[in-house]
Amino acid sequence: MPEQVESSPKLNVSSEIKSPTYDLTKFHLKRILSNNSKCKSITLLGTFPDISETDAAIVVFEKNAYRESDVATEVPADQEADSSPKPSYFSTDLQVRTDFINNIYASFQCVPTQELCTVKGTVIYPATEKHIEKYSICQKYIINETPDLYESITLPYITSSQFSLDWVYNILEHKQETERIVFEDTHPENGFVLLPDLKWDGRNVETLYLLGIVRKRDIKSLRDLNASHLPLLRNLRESAKQAILERYGLNPNQLRMYFHYQPSFYHLHVHINPIRNDAPGIWCEKSHMLDTVINNLELMPDYYQRASLPFVLYEGNKLLELYDKQLEVRQVVAQELSEADEAPEAFTDDEPEEGRECKRIKLSTPQKESNEAELLEMPCA
């Protein structure tokens, strides 16, 4: 059995946490990249002028999800009598302003205690053009990537322009973020590190979001996977589920485990979150369930070297420019239907069975050019 290491339960308290080189209060806004009302988040582009007038900085503010303990109205039995009460929305600190009251309906603006008003902040500094593209609102296009297109367009592009992976290697080599590691399997071939994604605050289990980063450094994405990686994928699935059950008490059958394609960085990693949480990037054009990936490789050892994989590209992405040059993905070509391509007539209630049978034949038989003799032989032409 490979040696397995599990970290301390405390995720956000460590002497290894370093102070940032910038002062967040001195951020200077240039423009808003996105404002997501559904996720209650806003993404800002700017600088830290006290450090550099030119280096771009991205700041993301996101309102935290509600925790069940924050709406409790009774003191838990295990809470000591002399301990300070936990913050609650239903306390004397709650400020309430009435918008309207109409019969049984009422609307209020509520300001809870300061401890419950925290906002999660994420900073990328210095940010590259690729980071700015990623966080900007723009037009999107679906690319149906064949194996040939991957080899001729995608692979050369990601080889020459991907993000630096130094931060990933720092985690794997315990140079950074060791205090955030939830679980670790040190096996060189089948091992991985499990730790919180930047999108999770590390506290609220309702919005749990973990990344499982594999130790092998020669797997960029789904495209590199084959049957030889099945032991790794199975170990990742089972060990991560067990670690999350023991650490957070979450039922393994309520976890969503999936890969992104294209991924945000090209070192194989799996995303893990509860199925009740609408996490970003879970949609069909982006995510590939770990169970499905394993099943595909069991059925066909080189499945991901032979399959066409659709993915989304954003306006402004240089990879989109390369695909548009070859496939003209931005251009809409209007197609005119010929008479032969027109949809067959629908059945009507008053139509005799002979007429319906004729239409069934037309629906099930491919169109072909008919000569005069064939037309004469058709009883319902």
Condensed to tens digits (0 to 9), the pLDDT of residues 228-260 reads 999 999 999 999 999 999 999 999 999 999 999
SS3 16: coil
pLDDT in tens, 326-350: 999 988 765 554 555 555 555 555 5
pLDDT in tens, 37-76: 777 889 999 999 999 999 999 999 998 878 878 888 876 6
Shortest CA distance to 215 belongs to which of 166, 268, 257, 264?
A: 268
Which pLDDT band holds residue 8 (cuts at 50, 70, 90)? very low
CA gap 108, 236 in Å, rounded: 46
The residue to which tokens 């931060």 are assigned: 167
Average pLDDT, integer, range 283-293: 95
The catalytic residues are 269
* pLDDT band at residue 381 using 50, 70 and 90 as cut-offs: very low
> For position 360, what pLDDT does the model report?
53
Residue (of 335, 198, 205, 220) closest to 267 by Cα position: 220
Burial-class residue 306 by CB neighbours within 10 Å (0-12, 13-18, 19+).
Answer: exposed
Q: How far apart are CA 169 and CA 237, in angstroms?
A: 22
Question: Does residue 220 contact residue 158 with C-beta atoms inside 8 Å?
Answer: yes
CA 18 to chain centre: 28
| Inter-residue contact 311 to 261 (CB < 8 Å) | yes
**Percent of the chain residues topping a pLDDT of 70:** 80
pTM over 0.85? The answer is no
* DSSP-assigned letter for residue 178: G
